Amino acid sequence: MEKVFVGIGSNLGDAQSQVESAISHINKISELEVIRSASLYESKPFGPIEQGNFVNTVVEIACSLEPVELLKTLKEIERTMGRAQGVRWGPREIDLDILLFGSREFSSNDLNLPHPGITHRAFVLVPLAELEPELMLADGLTIGKAISRLEQGLVWPLQRAATINL
């Protein structure tokens, strides 16, 4: 089983329920086991599209799938939960992104590992730091140093992870 971190976000409908439901969907896949979840955070949207704030978290999972298989599985969960293809960085019912897949590096048209946007996205770094405060990122930055380089006030906590039913 590989240690994998998955970023989860939503800003349509009941975003908090969507995120919690996504965690439940992930945990129902026999090749995946949610080990722990960071708190839920509200964040300003990333990108040029005017839209509402997101609810985000990061989960650590144990995974027996290969990276491309995991990506397909997460995309199927997104479809099941009603995600429609929309504008890049636009509003969405649910978004599931593989952030880190153990220490693997991988690149294809559909998947890059580690996720190339980690160091630029507070909504990923803050919950990831909650789970792995000593994490060293692929570019040599500590997670704390990466967070300190970002604009402040982009992410704020909603609730503790203990209230999320795994």
Q: What is the pLDDT of residue 165?
A: 47
Establish if 165 belongs to a structural domain.
no
92 as an active site residue: the answer is: yes
- Interatomic CA distance for residues 22 and 115, integer angstroms: 19
Model confidence band, residue 161 (pLDDT cutoffs 50, 70, 90): very low
Establish if 88 belongs to a structural domain.
yes
Q: Which of 14, 36, 79, 97 is catalytic?
A: 97
CA torsion, points 21, 68, 122, 148, in degrees to nearest 10? 140
83 as an active site residue: the answer is: yes
Establish if 133 belongs to a structural domain.
yes
Q: Which of 92, 104, 110, 139 is catalytic?
A: 92
Establish if 108 belongs to a structural domain.
yes
The structural domain count of the chain equals: 1
Q: What is the pLDDT of residue 97?
A: 95
CA torsion, points 139, 140, 144, 145, in degrees to nearest 10? -90
DSSP state, 85? -
Residue ranges of E strands in the chain: 2-10, 32-37, 40-43, 54-63, 95-101, 106-107, 112-113, 155-159
Q: What is the pLDDT of residue 140?
A: 85
- Interatomic CA distance for residues 90 and 166, integer angstroms: 28
State pLDDT tens for residues 144-154.
Answer: 999 999 887 77
Q: Which of 14, 36, 79, 83 is catalytic?
A: 83
Tell me the residue range of the domain where 47 lies: 2-160
Establish if 150 belongs to a structural domain.
yes
Establish if 166 belongs to a structural domain.
no
110 as an active site residue: the answer is: no
Residue 163 has pLDDT above 50, yes or no: no
State pLDDT tens for residues 106-146.
Answer: 999 999 999 988 988 999 999 999 999 999 988 888 999 99
Q: Which candidate, 136, 115, 74, 101, places its Cα nearest to that of 3?
A: 101
Q: Which candidate, 10, 3, 2, 4, places its Cα nearest to that of 96?
A: 10
Find out whether 77 and 25 touch, Cβ atoms under 8 Å. Answer: yes
CATH of residue 143: 3.30.70.560
Provide the CA 131 distance to its chain's centre, in angstroms. Answer: 12
Residues 6+ apart with CB under 8 A from 70: 4, 32, 63, 98, 101
Q: What is the pLDDT of residue 79?
A: 93
Establish if 77 belongs to a structural domain.
yes
95 as an active site residue: the answer is: yes
